[in-house]
Amino acid sequence: MISKPTLAAIRFGAGLGPDHAPPHGAAALWDSLDRETARTVPPVTSWDTRLARAIERRDLRRLRRDGDADAQEALRLLNRSDRDDALADLRATLIRLATAETGFFERLSRFWSNHFALQAKTGTLRFLRAPYAEDALRPHLQGPFAEMLKAAILHPAMLDYLDQNRSVGPASRAGRRRGRGLNENLARELLELHTLGVAGGYSQEDVTQMARLLTGLTYTLDDGFSFRPNIAEPGIIEIFGTRYGGRPVTLDHILTALDDLALRPETAQHLATKLARHFISDAPDPQLVAHMAASYLNAKGDLPALYRAMLEHPAAWDGPLSKTRAPFEMMAASLRALAVDPATILGLSRNETRRFLDGPLRLMGEPHEEVPSPAGYSDAAPAWITPQALAARIDWAMGLAQLVPTDNDPRDFIEIALADAASDALRRASAGAETRAQGIGLILAAPDFNRR
């Protein structure tokens, strides 16, 4: 049976490693949150930097169309800088997880980044995921869900991804003048993915009414987020029996609706189920989910209450490790187990990052700065298990073991990397490897290490 410290480190944290004592259960994980929130971490590119480059890119494209001979080269260099910074963001976020005290905060950050999934959609705004998470999500990980929801939904990156700039109230001044109408993308994902969930009991009419209410939300590269009354649908809009809007329509009407969505029982159930499914099991214990949802509602949507309820319930500590580490998490856990110097990863060149991190992540099925849909990546364990993805994991693990100097005997390393989560079969196989590097690689590539 796996001990509680081992389970805590692997199921809820970044994994085991020689430089990090495993947390001794729920209290240690909980206590680490404040310290991990406050710690100094490698920075990622700021949203303001991405926005400034988008403005510059737009202006250079205009100059190029006007025949400016230097604009094309300036545009090439700008795009290269953006790509280089995206690779730097990959290195930084990987090291954040690999070197965290327990990794619980960083795991939560990854969960919410996937819950509010997006990626760059236009040629002007690029590489948005890391700056968006830094700007809209990480500051709210330990606050009310309503605050995170509002920061996420109103962020220019989300408005761009879900085409909110195309949504105009049909009866608004702009709608009547231009003959434009609703775009329901943001409203649909708000209900289906971000709050109530697919089983939340809403109808197509609810989606349409929510889309009417959300008109007015927009952004420009020069001004950022704004609310424009001239495109907002005027009048009273009823959603789930509550009336919003009026004449004039204001941003406060939308914010009130988001506050109300955050506190609906369906939202509590959706968030609790999704969080438990992410950390614990593809089919989490119904009593655990019910306890989490009730705690969330009793705390008026406070996210720490949701986390604490998960950690304190006995079902969170039952059962075998049945989830599969996502490729990014597998990489971070490997670096942690081998105690790779963070400076080694942060100092990788552009080509080294592409060859060692970016390319392998794509082959494993989790390309950096991309998501398969607004629903993000699946939490189901089989989603990561394909022939190509498994081959890529094995290749990367064996390659890392060859590249990283280590004096570890595989018989010692398996205790560092897996402790009592290692199977007897893996212990025998790694001990019998022809070389130490092969033994280390075998451990990192094994199902035992890739489970969480």
**DSSP readout, 39-56?**
S-------HHHHHHHHHH
Q: Are 445 and 393 in contact (CB under 8 A)?
A: yes
**Residue 319 confidence (pLDDT):** 80
Q: Span 158-175, mean pLDDT?
A: 95
Residue 224 backbone phi and psi in degrees, to 5 = 75, -150
pLDDT of 90 higher than 90: yes
pTM of the model: 0.96
Whole-number Å distance between alpha carbons of 80 and 85: 9
Distances (CA, A) of 427 to 16, 180, 394, 440, 441: 17, 65, 17, 11, 13
**Residue 408 confidence (pLDDT):** 82
Q: 247-257 as b/e, with b when 16 or more CB fall inside 10 Å?
A: eebebebbbeb
72 — pLDDT class (breaks 50, 70, 90): very high
Whole-number Å distance between alpha carbons of 354 and 45: 18
**Residue positions counted in the chain:** 452
Backbone φ/ψ region at 201: left (φ over 0), alpha (ψ -120 to 50), beta: left
Q: Each residue of 311-356: pLDDT tens digit?
A: 999 999 998 999 999 999 999 999 999 999 999 999 999 999 999 9
The chain-wide mean pLDDT, for the chain, equals: 96
> Cα-Cα-Cα-Cα dihedral of 28, 31, 34, 38, to 10°?
-50
At 269, list the tokens: 């159930």
Q: Are 256 and 275 in contact (CB under 8 A)?
A: no
Q: Are 231 and 175 in contact (CB under 8 A)?
A: yes
Whole-number Å distance between alpha carbons of 271 and 409: 43
Instruction: Return the SS3 of 340.
Output: coil
Q: What's the maximum distance between 2 C-alpha atoms anywhere in the chain?
A: 77
Whole-number Å distance between alpha carbons of 10 and 18: 14
Peptide linkage before 229 cis (omega within 30 of 0): no
pLDDT of 179 higher than 90: no
User: Whose CA is closest to 325, among 1, 34, 9?
Assistant: 9
How many Å separate Cα 140 from the centre of its chain? Answer: 13
Q: Each residue of 91-128: pLDDT tens digit?
A: 999 999 999 999 999 999 999 999 999 999 888 999 99
Q: Span 296-317, mean pLDDT?
A: 98
Whole-number Å distance between alpha carbons of 100 and 256: 36
At 450, list the tokens: 């890739």
Whole-number Å distance between alpha carbons of 186 and 417: 42
User: What is the helix (H) or strand (E) element at residue 226, kind and residue range?
Assistant: strand 224-227
pLDDT of 178 higher than 90: no
Q: Each residue of 370-398: pLDDT tens digit?
A: 999 999 999 888 889 999 999 999 999 99
How many C-beta atoms surround the C-beta of residue 403 within 10 A?
12
At 417, list the tokens: 């990397």
Q: Are 282 and 304 in contact (CB under 8 A)?
A: no
Percent residues over pLDDT 90 in the chain: 94
**Residue 261 confidence (pLDDT):** 98
Whole-number Å distance between alpha carbons of 163 and 230: 18
User: Whose CA is closest to 429, among 445, 408, 452?
Assistant: 445
At 335, list the tokens: 């670096």
Instruction: Return the SS3 of 393.
Output: helix
Distances (CA, A) of 255 to 116, 146, 362: 17, 9, 38
How many C-beta atoms surround the C-beta of residue 122 within 10 A?
9
**Residue 224 confidence (pLDDT):** 93
How many C-beta atoms surround the C-beta of residue 104 within 10 A?
25
How many C-beta atoms surround the C-beta of residue 428 within 10 A?
9
